[in-house]
Structure 1
């Protein structure tokens, strides 16, 4: 796990020293991602520089230093992530004549690229990654991101025509010619979803590479620059979750539930074992929920010593699952470290959120996630998580509600539906008749899904100069087109919410303290297996995540497995009415909003007044505005 950055100047004019200085500056901006080593490599004749910050996990020796040059000197790579099946690939490549100096997975990935090419190497690998690979012969730069979107990669064009890229926006902003102008369309996305999904980013001219995509930049692309580049259709899909889900659904799972349980056990055991390889201390996030408990149980079952586990709880009981985590830890016999956080400790973190998350981000569970990562990093360098289980195994109650409401809407005559429906705007968030009208206006299952993930319904009316950008929740082509409505709901979340919210949150929070996180449930083999299962093995007699829970009963008693689901959040509403009130008032000051020119102040001030008067649900609307305002202030 590391950080990468780089730049390619269209007309080479910088000396080797100047390129090295630029690479060092860009790498230093993300030094928190890799405190163990730093490297810069440049090709002055081409005007290209690669920078790398290393968090040493596998092969702690200097043989793992990056940027790394291939044995035949053709390829140079800066790589962030882990290739979990590197031992298997190493044996295959050695049989083909490749030679290795050390035992890092980076060297294996580089040899695979030299042997098979970038896309074929990606397809053979099992891991998480973001990489930049420079082909010295063809003068082509390749950028790639893993199948699911575990590791981030930003890219764009600076004002001088340079192509710039990096693990975080901070690396790009370190380039002296990059404009820092806010993109109002992306800001509207932040208010709508709490995050900004790929390929969009908060700065104009900057994009995120989407999960499962590879981008090829050659001299022709460089000459055309940002004028003709299409960030949506330009990158090539080397792995598509929609296409793979469609194929899995059409293939189906041939066995009964007993066979499915055995296969899930085998797949998850292997996925967990692969992610337990590390030359540094390793542990697990343990919330006490199904997914983290299952991962921790599989770790402990394959470990000769107690696994280090970590949990966090708040003094607000609604947001506190720590007692369940403690009970699971006792039963499994892990070496458990809980952290109980009062409001004061959590609030100390709020001013640091813009720096931790780099780009404006407003999922309030960012607070406990960041605190949990800090706790774990005091003891380990790698932590396994249960991310992905909800999106693969029907884990959200909103799925069941959306399917139920779609069925009810289908029974209503279209003429009556049109008369009853309407667009109540932001009032839909408050429930009651306004929420019912919004559901009636949704139109179809995708519309219902969109209703349940949307914060500001009309965010373009709040952000000055904003247009409405489409996301997976708006695009019919994002639907799998086969299977059940449940499959479609899970695919939308897998594509957008999981990759762009949950995994972004965990990556930024963990890498801010140089902690690597790994997610066995997001092994591509587990994902494709889950997609092949019938809905009855995921949602059975009203029970969510049926098959994973059945598997978990092999390791835990029923009372720790079958219990109500609780979210992983923070009592933001209480904070905004209490200790954060003055801070929030300063961020939402009407004069400041007007002078900065990003928002129309009236709708924001109106919601703030209603919230202070007792309307409890507006805190989700306000948190997005507050996180942008805090980020904006941190850029000055």
Structure 2
């Protein structure tokens, strides 16, 4: 696991020494992602620098150093991630005549690119990645992100037309020519969703590469960017989630529940086994929920020694699952470590959130996630997680509510009711009649889903200069053309919420402490298998994630499998009324908000006043504003 960065100028103006210095600055900005080694590669004639920061996981020797040049000298790569099936690819490439110096997956990926080309090599791989690959023969730069979006990649243009890219926004900001202007459309998305989804980014002129896409740039495309055109807005899908889901739904699963259980067991066992390979200590995040318990159980079933497992709990029982995690660990006989936080540890992290997440991010579970990663890093360098199960196996209660309400509305004159209901705006967040009116104002299932995931319902009215930015929740093209309403709801979250919230949270919190997080449930084979299953295997008799729970019964006693689902958040509301109140008041000062010019202070101050007076739910509105304000202080 690593961090990458680079820059390419259409009209080279600097020499090799200056480019190396730039590459080092960009790399140093993300040194936390790779503290074990660093490197830069420069071609001064074309104005290109690639920079790499290394967290050594496979092949700890210098043979894994990056940027890495292919054996034939044609390709240069800076790679962040893991190729889990590298051993199988290595054998295939050796049969074709390739020879390897070390045993890193980077060298295998590079040989695969040399043999098959960038896209074909990506399609053969099974892993997580963000990469920059330079083709010296065709003078073309390739940027790519993995299928699901586990690893991030930012890119954009400086004021002099230089292309800059990197694993985190701070790497781009190390270039002196990057504009630091806030994008109000992206800021509005932050208030609505708690995160900023790809392709948007908080700074103007910067984008995030969407999951499963790649870009190819040659000097002509680079010059077009220098001339003010942006050729980077239409990346190529090398793995199209919507199309793959449609194909899986069309194919279906040919078998009964027993056959599905056996197939899921075999797929997950292999996915877990592939992700247990490391030349450094390895463990598991264990919350006690279905997904993390299943991953940990499959790890322990394939390990000759107790697996290291880690959990965290809070003194607020609404956010504490540690007792379940302890019970699961005891049954599986893992080597378990638990941190029970009294809240002070998480509070102490709040000022550091802006640095850790690099771009404004407001999912409050960022705090316990960061604490969990710090705990695990004291003992291991790699940790497996259960991320992805909810989006693949119908794991959220809001799916049921959305389906129920959409079905009810379908029997009514919806367009007429939408006009009559109007839009109650932010009051709909509080429930009751206002929430019912907001549901009536939605036009279809996507509208219901968006209503369910939104914090601020009309963020463009509070962010100055903001326009409505389109995401998967607004775009009918994001929906599979076949399948049922449940498939469409999960597809929306898979396209937006999973990569840009869940996986972003885990990436930033883990990489801030140089910890690699791996997600076996998001192996692409498991993903496409889940899409092929009928809803009856995911939801039955009121039980969410039916099939994973049935599978978990093979490894745990029933009482540890069937229990209410808990969230993994933090008691932010209590903190904002208590120990964080003075900090929040300073961030939300009316004069400050007005002078900085990003927000209309009136609605924010009104919500803050109501919250302090006892209104329970406004903390979710306020946290997004507070996280932006904290980030802006560091800009």
TM superposition score category, shorter chain reference? over 0.9
Residue 393 (structure 1) aligned with residue 393 (structure 2): yes
Give the secondary structure class of the aligned counterpart of 1:248. helix
Answering whether residue 418 of structure 2 is matched by residue 434 of structure 1, we say no
* Deviations, residues 105-156 of structure 1 (Å, cap 9, x unaligned): 0000000000000000000000000000000111100000000000000000
Q: For structure 2, which runs of at least 5 residues remain unmatched after alignment?
A: none
* Cα deviation, residue 343, structure 1: 1.6
Is the Cα–Cα contact under 8 Å of residues 290 and 561 in structure 1 kept in the other structure? yes
Report 1:79-478 matches (<5 A). Answer: 79-225=79-225, 227-233=228-234, 235-414=235-414, 417-418=417-418, 421-478=421-478
Structure 1 residue 416, shift from structure 2 partner: 6.0
Contact in 2 for aligned 1:319/1:570 (Cα 8 Å): yes
Note closer, same or farther for the CA distance 1:415–1:399 as it changes in structure 2 (3 Å cut).
Answer: closer
Q: Distance in 2 between matches of 1:76 and 1:535?
A: 45
Q: What secondary structure is seen at the aligned counterpart in 2 of 1:616? A: coil
Whether the 8 Å contact between 2:64 and 2:104 is mirrored in structure 1 is yes
Cα offset, 1:62, TM superposition: 0.3
Structure 2: distance between partners of 1:525 and 1:41? 35
- Structure 1 length as normaliser, TM-score? 0.99
Residue in structure 2 matched with residue 510 of structure 1 by the alignment: 510
Deviations 1:7-56 (A, max 9, x none): 00111121111110000010000000000000000001110000000000
State how far apart, in whole Å, the 2-side matches of 1:91 and 1:309 are.
33
Partner-residue secondary structure (3-state), 1:383: strand
- Preserved CA contact (<8 Å) 1:243 1:480: yes
Q: Is the 8 A contact 2:215 2:232 kept in 1?
A: no
Aligned residues: 634
> 1:420–1:437: 8 Å Cα contact kept in structure 2?
no
In 1, Cα distance between equivalents of 2:466 and 2:278? 46
RMSD, aligned α-carbons:
0.8
In 2, Cα distance between the equivalents of 1:91 and 1:197? 38
Relative distance call for 1:36 and 1:25 in structure 2 (3 A) is: same
Shift of 1:520: 0.2
Compute the displacement of 1:418 (Å): 3.9
Q: For residues 110 and 433 of structure 1, do their structure 2 counterparts lie closer, same or farther at Cα, with a shift above 3 Å needed? A: same
2:618 match: secondary structure: helix
From the superposition, tell whether residues 188 and 416 of structure 1 become closer, same or farther in structure 2 (CA, over 3 Å). closer
CA distance in 1, matches of 2:421, 2:391: 30
CA contact 2:414–2:440 (8 Å) conserved in 1: no
Give, in whole Å, the separation in 1 of the partners of 2:540 and 2:454: 28
How far is 1:351 from its partner?
Answer: 0.3
Matched-pair contact (CA < 8 Å) for 1:16–1:44: yes
Per-residue CA deviation, residues 275-304 of structure 1 (Å, 9 max, x unaligned), is 000000000000000000000000000000
Q: Is the 8 Å Cα contact of residues 282 and 308 (structure 2) preserved in structure 1? A: yes
CA deviation profile, 1:67-115 (whole Å, cap 9, x unmatched): 0000000000000000000000000001111110000000000000000
Post-superposition offset of 1:231: 4.2
Give the secondary-structure state (helix, strand or coil) at the position aligned to 2:457: coil
SS in 2 for 1:42: strand
Shift of 1:421: 2.5
User: Aligned-pair distance for 1:410?
Assistant: 1.4
* Contact 1:282-1:308 at 8 Å conserved across structures: yes
* Residue aligning to 2:533: 533
Say yes or no: does 1:499 pair with 2:499. yes
Aligned partners of 1:109 and 1:418: how far apart in 2? 53
User: Which string of whole-angstrom CA distances, capped at 9 and with x for unpartnered residues, describes residues 522-579 of structure 1?
Assistant: 0000000000000000000110000000000001011010000001000000000000
Q: Tell me, yes or no, if the aligned pair for 1:199 and 1:231 is still in contact at 8 Å.
A: no
In 1: Cα distance, 2:205 partner to 2:260 partner: 47
Partners of 1:540 and 1:114 in 2: CA distance: 48
In 2, distance between residues paired with 1:230 and 1:289? 44
Q: Which aligned segments of 4 or more residues in structure 1 are displaced greater than 3 angstroms?
A: 413-416
C-alpha distance in 2 between matches for 1:397 and 1:339 = 28
Cα shift readout 1:472-494 (whole Å, capped 9, x = no counterpart) = 00001111011010000000000
Please state if 1:9 is matched with 2:9: yes
Q: Tell me the secondary structure at the aligned position of residue 495 of structure 1.
A: helix
Structure 1 residue 422, shift from structure 2 partner: 2.2
- TM-score of the superposed pair, with normalisation by structure 2: 0.99
Distance in 1 separating the partners of 2:51 and 2:418:
57
- The Cα offsets for residues 156-197 of structure 1, whole Å up to 9 and x where unpaired, read as 001111000000001000001111111111111100100000
C-alpha separation in 2, matches of 1:132 and 1:419: 49
Partner of 2:573: 573
For residues 497 and 318 of structure 1, what CA distance do their matches in structure 2 show? Answer: 23
**Residue 40 (structure 1) aligns with:** 40
Q: Secondary structure at the match of 2:617?
A: helix
3-state SS of 2:283 partner: strand
CA 434–279 in structure 1, closer or farther in 2 if over 3 Å, else same: same
Question: Equivalent residue of 1:130, what SS?
Answer: strand
Offset at residue 259 of structure 1 (A):
0.3
- Give deviations 1:238-258, integer Å, cap 9, x for gaps: 001111000000000010100
Aligned position for 2:548: 548
Matches within 5 A, 1:36-75: 36-75=36-75
Distance 2:403 2:428 in 1: 19
1:449–1:489: 8 Å Cα contact kept in structure 2? yes
Contact 2:225/2:231 (<8 A) preserved: no
Give 3-state SS (helix, strand or coil) of 2:141's partner: strand
Which runs of 5 or more structure 1 residues have no equivalent in the other structure? Answer: none
